[in-house]
Amino acid sequence: MNITLIENFRAVFYAPYYAAIALGAYRAEGIEVELKASPDAARTLESVMSGAGHVSWGGPVRVMLALEKDPTSQPVSFCEVVGRDPFFLLGCAPHPHFELKDLLDKRVATVSEVPTPWMCLQHDLRLAGLDPAKVKRISGRTMDENVAALRSRQVDVIQVFEPFAAQLEEEGAGYIWYAAASRGPTTYTTFNAPRAFLEREPETARRLCRAIYRTQKWMAARSAVDLADLVAPYFPGLSRSVLTASCQRYRSLDVWNRGPVMDRQGFEWLRDAGLSQGLITKRYAFEDCVDMRVAESVVRDDPPSL
């Protein structure tokens, strides 16, 4: 059974997907997976829906955006891997008593590559009774450019994911002020596919979920060092110390799920953030975008770890 899996983009918080390949989890379930890079993170789900691959991974925000564009398109999320927000706010100096209101007098460089990090942060601000428009936001630059700007003190705060946080900490050039994962469940990354795929190939979907769940069990029983050693070939330019620190932080923050079933609360928080920013216009129900029946059956089966 051959499956083309479209990678959203290369990132440390996607480590469970690389671990599944490195461990031979898919092969153990009778699936040969071809990993194919997305031409653009904004088009990953579109690639799958147009037949360029069978399944992709990415944010359920893309599912909602696809439904906004075409309500008949029927994309669906069916296996959750990243259940908390993997982004951070870093400043030039330690700020142990940081509160979100402290952003209002700072130059804050936000993520431009994808919409979800700022969408979620602005919802955090609104829930704290703050107006995101009052943040001195610097947008339109890459995370690499924002890291350089923090080093040179051209900005006060940057929004990044790992390994940028660990790299800056190792250099003594940046300090974590806020870990977005600390807010609690926020559905961030799932397997996504046309709903017709689940109807046409339920056994394939089940085997994909089993491979992920068995990998999640392996990760839960192993150390960050073990995980970093396993996925290091996917990050050839990254020092092992930074990769290990990145994996350890994500483990400690429970960014990675221990099972494939999505938390409904996490989906609803994400949806409400999209509504708050105006990125989506409809209050989508969980069932509009998500089908966890296969994942739930896999958890009931309780397959062994790898």
Do the two domains 2-84+186-301 and 88-183 of this chain adopt the same fold?
yes
What are the b/e assignments for 179-215, b being 16+ CB within 10 Å? bbbebebbbbbbbbbbeebbeebeebbbbbbbbbbbb
Query: What is the CATH T-level fold of the domain 88-183, as seen in this structure?
Result: D-Maltodextrin-Binding Protein; domain 2 (3.40.190)
pLDDT of residue 58: 96
Q: Give the span between the Cα atoms of 5 and 143, in whole angstroms.
A: 26
The CA distances from residue 117 to 53, 59, 129, 236, in Å, are 26, 11, 19, 26
Three-state SS string across 121-163, please? HHHHHHHCCCCHHHCEEECCCCHHHHHHHHHCCCCCEEEECCC
DSSP H or E stretch at residue 36: strand 32-37
**Closest CA relative to residue 180, chosen from 273, 79, 62, 244:** 273
Digit-by-digit pLDDT tens for the chain (306 residues) are: 899 999 999 999 999 999 999 999 999 999 999 999 999 999 999 999 999 999 999 999 999 999 999 999 999 999 999 999 999 999 999 999 999 999 998 999 999 999 999 999 999 999 999 999 999 999 999 999 999 999 999 999 999 999 999 999 999 999 999 999 999 999 999 999 999 999 999 999 999 999 999 999 999 999 999 999 999 999 999 999 999 999 999 999 999 999 999 999 999 999 999 999 999 999 999 999 999 999 999 999 999 999
| No. of helices (H) and no. of strands (E), the chain | 14, 10
Extract the tokens encoding 295. Answer: 């994942």
Provide the whole-model pTM. 0.97
Q: Where are the domains of the chain?
A: 2-84+186-301, 88-183
pLDDT of residue 44: 96
pLDDT of residue 160: 98
pLDDT of residue 1: 84
Alpha helices in 36-104, H assignment, sequence order: 44-49, 60-69
pLDDT of residue 211: 98
| CATH no. for 2-84+186-301 | 3.40.190.10
Q: Measure CA of the first residue to CA of the last residue in the chain; give whole Å.
A: 20
